[in-house]
Structures are given as C-alpha cells and as structure tokens.
Structure 1
C-alpha cells in the first residue's frame, strides 16, 4: 500500500514572523497561535501544514522541512522505521512515545537530510 503524506512542516527561524507571513499569504492560522511553539493549519483535503519553533527540533542546522506520514499503529511505525534503517538510511530518532500529545513517532533522514516522520497513535 502506498503511503500518503499526512503533514508538511517547516521549522520557523522566528515563529512570530512566520505566523505573520503565512497569515498575510492567506492561511487560516488558528486564533491563539501567537506565542505557541507548534501551530497546525488544516488544509483542504487530508494535509495539515505546521510550523515548529527551532527548539522543537533535535539539532541546530538541521533541515527545515518535515514530512510526516501517519501509519495508524505502532507496529507499522516500527516496521517502516526498521526497513528504512536496514536499507542504510540515517536514523534521526528511534521510535518513541511523545507522552504529552499521545503520539508514537520515529524519524529518519532522506538523502538530502530532510526529516521524515512516521507517526501513529501511542495506544
């Protein structure tokens, strides 16, 4: 089965400037987003666009693009992560539970160093 892109994220150097830019561009930035470190905007269709503050990513100088693929359950995340690492792609972060949001994540880097995020519900 082919994967579908679930979310597209950008790491904002200056979150407030980025929010202002994307508001002016015409995105429906949710009320109360100012001062947040993570902001999601549901787009038409199944894609969600998000902005992350730099401190939400692992290392300085890391890629600014995050592609997220939702895989429905933890076993699928584990299997996809293992398969890609076994092919020789670089692990960015082994599977883990983000307890504060109830999600299960794993991250690898594509050949250009962009972050590929696999996600599932933590349950």
Structure 2
C-alpha cells in the first residue's frame, strides 16, 4: 500500500475564528458537534482538514505553540491567477494578515495570507496542486 496523507490537523487557539477564516477561504467547514472543540472537513482530494483546540495539548505533555514565525504552509489550489487575486483581496480586506501579495514566483502564481493562528496559507493557481480526477 502506498503511504497517503490522510489529514492535516491544526491545533488552534480560537475555534470560531478559525472556522470563520476557513469558510471565508472557501471550505465548507461544518459547525462543531455538541461541546466537542473539533471540526473536520474532507476535501475532494480525500485529505481531511481537522481543526481543534484540544488534541496535541491534551495528548502530548510536551506540546508548545511556536513562539514566532511559521513552520509550514498549507497550499490551496484556487484555480486561475484571477482567483488567487480575488481570494487574496477578499481575505486581506477582511483583516487577515497578507504575507505575500499575488505574484508570479519561480514556480506558481501565488499569494500568502495568515490564518488566525499564524499558519501560512499559500493560495496558488499551480496545476500541480489541482485535485486529480
């Protein structure tokens, strides 16, 4: 069996703020079920995005939030260049921190914006990131 990326888990400070961000990004994030501080969205690619406030902190006694900077980027394929521009404008106009305005990089046309916890979201029109059929 080939190893597959099944889920990306984000340990966040404010679940509601994160849900609002990822919905604005364009994901159909559900409401949390009951009192559980967790939501899961399965994307067409098969990878799930799990957002929670209490997984790593509950099960890893050595868990510490990064003090600064970022350690990863989450790339979201949004389609053509104009859609990268539109999503960047929508998110930064809503007050989210823009890290890199839309530009042609050495690779894809891309932009970067921070989610509420400082996770860097890479918006691209890179066909290599498009979900397969």
Q: Which TM-score band (shorter chain)? A: 0.3 to 0.5
Normalising by structure 1, report the TM-score. Answer: 0.47
Structure 1 or 2: more strand by fraction: 1
Q: TM-score, normalised by structure 2?
A: 0.44
